[in-house]
Structure 1
Amino acid sequence: MHRLQLHYTLSQDSSPAQVRNPLIDLLQAVSSQGSISGGARALGLSYRHVWGELKRWENELGNELVVWEKGQSARLTTFGNKLMWAERQAQARLSPQIEALRAELERSYAQAFDDSVHVVTLYASHDDALSSLREHALKKETLTLDSGPGRLHLDIRFTGSVDAIRALNEGRCVMAGFHTLLGSGKKTLTERTYKPLLQPGQHKIIGFAQRTQGLMVARGNPRDVHSLKDVVLRRVRFANRTLGSGTRVVLDELLAQANLLASEVNGYDHTEPSHAAVAQAVAAGQCDAGMGIAAAAQQAGLDFVPLAEEQYHLVCLKSALAQPGIETLRQLLQTPQWLGQIAKVPGYSAQYSGQVLSMRKVLPWWDYRHSKTPASS
């Protein structure tokens, strides 16, 4: 078995966190260009270097990677294609952990290089808009506070919604991110899941976004799936999220609303750790559909069937609201630049962005007065 070694570099580049493999880059370039010379040009390398590297890797791995015949386009061998597939699977499954690893390293460097950086440790359900916010915050000089100007570093650890709030309550972070179905009322799974973890007066909700949850399906929707009822009736192969994730709570509540049982879903026990991993499972043909967000479906080249709207909340302890990092984050969330950026994320819209909201108003099962519109508290 071949062992892996991981390396990282310091850079001002704000591109998404990835664990890059030079061999995979070579194979991708040769495959897409149809020749070694074309692949070399695409990578800005010489033909001799690319040819030599491919030969070196073939000797190292004990398998041919590329087949090229005179007068024909170069193509990957079966083994070469399997390597590409394995790398795509790993990237999709591990992207939250990779992002968390980079966040941990950057937190240390941020503190080492710049004393004015405000660090906010955030445990949150995986969310594309949060990743965008993190990059946006790193680029932007924030508004001047009483503590002086500075930059915001979001130290994001992606985990399930339930685990995120538990981390907040246990003091492992200063803020948590979780999401709930719009209009989810009393005596629902949402209430049973989150009410024991949140307390009015102790926790404060900060508005972040509204987003659409739905079914990610292959391009063209070949199974003609338009609802969870179709998933059950057509015995569609399904990919679920792990226990403790907010999306699994959403799925279970939608099943209950449709009078469907989890046991009726073909693949309910097939779990993936993130929206991206579910999307990759669908794209790879391992399943026909899975719950997720529109942004993940678009990134994987899939179609998206919207099912429900939900609110994505940020929550912190009341005592943390005055911390410079939380104040900086709230100001950043209300800037026109951020509001314009989140509007570009598929399936997202800003929702009371940066505002401190009454828990009893934003979470209906705490709303004893039955108010319909969230208000600041």
Structure 2
Amino acid sequence: MSTVRRGIHLRYTFESAEPADQRGAEIENPLFDLLSALEAHGSISAAARAQQVSYRHAWSSLKHWEEILGAPLVQWEQGRRARLTPFAQRLMWAERQARVRMTPHVEALRAELARVFALADDATLQVLEIFASHDLGLPKLQTLAEECDGLHIGLRFAGSQEALRALNDGRCRVAGFHVAQDASSDSVMARAFKPLLQPGTHKLIGSHWRRQGWLWRQGETRPDSIAALRTGRWRFVSRQPESGTRLLTDHLLEQANLRPGKVPGYTTCIENTHVAVAAAIASGAADVGIGIEAAAVEAGLSFSPLVDENYFLVCLKEDLETPPLRALRERLASPAWAEALARLPGYGPARSGKVLSLTRTLPWWHFAKPKH
């Protein structure tokens, strides 16, 4: 007997009915709607009338679902009511149990979708897609912008290099990346970012500074230097390749003459966010990592600073004076943004909202002096 492979596909639709017509964890599903009608009415014809469909449609639907599930769903006996098979009864019971557990989540999802589509009806709403390296400040900026400026920021976290590529590919309007304040023109960060940023094409916008350093469990010890990781005493959790923090760590390893492959966990224990790195250390899955101070405080970890870095937003030159970018810059320059940053350990404003010179702010380009 072959095993039937079954998959779950979720979808939602738009209806002209009032939202009150569907409540709680009610999720329409043609299979369970049909089985419920059969269970209640005892025949295909009565179930079809209850669902306001033809007998032929109800019958073909039943056969379709039996073929998909690989098992009969209804027991037929001459002169008696149609009954659900034990398999169909178990299926109905399990689905009802799942709906009970899903009630708060489905209600929240429905409310959020209703809110989103209400916003879509607002002609004054501005939408700005941002791909950015993971940061605990940007969700606060997202909230401030929506509450104060009618600017909806579609925020997606990605590695710094991926974010810049998304901007150059037209997948977003703004990219966010970060770089150590003392980065030199021959640093790992410079080699990674320079090909992705072009003077005259991109416009750099100041956002904030933040502090990165060692994260480890309280009461335990940490390496006294990045080079100490070669001893294998500590299991290191790193960020994903092409993230800004991974580039920073690669830079520190290069300065210490230490290859990543010599650090236990560096290429095998990988997380995509600062919060996930902190959680891995707090749970004991790793011993140390490099991340932002705010994530360490949030997870109850010890923190020791290594570098201060600047977090920048960047857009294409032609987008700089569009209404969404002007609204974003105004929010970055506002006291509310500075106050939000002040509540995050190891954060602060840094020329927030100002349009900065790429070549002066990021000393990665060297132009020959013109000849007289």
Q: Same fold (TM over 0.5)?
A: yes
Matched with 1:341 is 340
Q: Report the equivalent of 2:65.
A: none
Ranges in structure 2 where 5+ consecutive residues have no aligned partner:
1-6, 13-92, 99-108
Contact 2:208 2:350 in 1 (8 A): yes
User: How far apart are the structure 2 equivalents of 1:238 and 1:186?
Assistant: 28
Alpha carbons of structure 1 residues 159 and 224: separation in structure 2 relative to 1, 3 Å: closer
Aligned counterpart, 1:23: none
Distance 1:331 1:159, change over 3 A: same
Deviations 1:131-173 (A, max 9, x none): 1111122222x3xxxxxxxx11111111111110000001010
Q: Which residue, 233, 238, 241 being the options, matches 1:240?
A: 238
- State the match for 1:130 in structure 2: 138
Alignment of 1:21-100 (within 5 A): none
Confirm whether residue 298 of structure 1 aligns to residue 306 of structure 2.
no
Q: Is the 8 A contact 1:227 1:307 kept in 2?
A: no
What residue is the counterpart of 1:281 in the other structure? 280
The 8 Å contact of residues 216 and 222 in structure 2, kept in 1 or not, is answered as no
SS in 2 for 1:308: strand
Residues 366 and 110 of structure 1: CA distance in aligned 2, closer, same or farther (over 3 Å): farther
Secondary structure, counterpart of 1:266 in structure 2: coil
CA distance in 2, matches of 1:109, 1:232: 53
Q: What SS does the aligned partner of 1:236 have?
A: coil
User: What is aligned with 2:260?
Assistant: 262
The answer as to whether partners of 2:232 and 2:264 remain within 8 angstroms in 1 is no
Match of 1:366 in 2: 365
TM-score of the superposition, structure 2-length normalised?
0.67
Gaps of 5+ in 1: 9-55, 62-100, 143-150, 371-377
For residues 181 and 294 of structure 1, the distance between their equivalents in structure 2, rounded to whole angstroms, comes to 15
CA distance in 2, matches of 1:300, 1:129: 16
- Give the distance between the partners of 1:198 and 1:226, measured in 2 at CA: 35
User: In structure 2, what is the equivalent of residue 50 of structure 1?
Assistant: none
Give the 3 Å change call, closer, same or farther, for CA 330–110 of structure 1 in structure 2: farther
Report the residue type matching 2:180 in the other structure. L
Distance 1:292 1:4 in 2: 37
In structure 2, the CA distance between the partners of 1:254 and 1:4, relative to structure 1 (3 Å rule), is farther
Could you tell me whether the CA contact under 8 Å between 1:123 and 1:176 is conserved in 2?
yes
Using a 3 Å threshold, how does the CA distance of structure 1 residues 332 and 367 change in structure 2: closer, same or farther? Answer: farther
For 1:175, the equivalent position in structure 2 comes to 174
Q: Secondary structure at the match of 1:315?
A: strand
CA, structure 1 residues 266+129, in 2 after alignment: closer, same or farther (shift >3 Å)? same
Distance in 2 of aligned mates of 1:117 and 1:214: 39
| Partners of 2:10 and 2:357 in 1: CA distance | 45
Structure 1 residues 4 and 239: alpha-carbon distance in aligned structure 2, compared to 1, 3 A threshold: farther
Structure 1 range deviating more: 111-120 or 335-344: 111-120
- 2:35 aligned residue: none
What amino acid does structure 2 have at the position aligned with 1:126? H
Q: Distance in 1 between matches of 2:328 and 2:265?
A: 39
Q: Is the 8 A contact 1:213 1:308 kept in 2?
A: yes
User: Structure 1 318/105 Cα, relative in aligned 2: closer, same or farther at 3 Å?
Assistant: farther
RMSD across aligned positions (CA)? 3.0
Query: Do the aligned partners of residues 180 and 323 (structure 1) sit closer, same or farther apart at CA in structure 2, a change above 3 Å counting?
Result: same
In structure 2, what residue type is equivalent to 1:241?
R
Write the distance in 2 (CA, Å) between the matches of 1:299 and 1:361: 35
Cα offset, 1:264, TM superposition: 2.4
TM-score, normalisation: structure 1: 0.66
Any idea what SS the aligned residue of 2:165 has?
helix
> For 1:128, what is the secondary structure of its paired residue?
coil
Q: Aligned equivalents of 1:226 and 1:105: distance in 2?
A: 50
Contact 2:236/2:288 (CA < 8 Å) preserved in 1? yes
Is the contact made by 2:144 and 2:331 (CA closer than 8 Å) also made in structure 1?
no
Identity of aligned residues (%): 44
Distance 1:350 1:7, change over 3 A: farther
Aligned counterparts of 1:196 and 1:218: Cα–Cα separation in 2: 38
**CA 1:352 to 1:130, structure 2 compared with 1: closer, same or farther past 3 Å?**
same
Q: Which amino acid aligns with 2:223?
A: V
How far apart, CA to CA, are the structure 1 residues paired with 2:130 and 2:368? Answer: 31
The AA in structure 1 aligned to 2:122 is D
Find the counterpart in structure 2 of residue 308 from structure 1.
307
How far, CA to CA, are the matches of 2:162 and 2:119 in structure 1?
Answer: 26
In structure 2, C-alpha distance between the alignment counterparts of 1:354 and 1:250, rounded to whole Å:
25
Q: Are residues 1:115 and 2:113 paired?
A: no
How far apart are 1:304 and its partner, in Å?
1.1
Deviations 1:291-333 (A, max 9, x none): 1111111111111121111111100000001110000010111
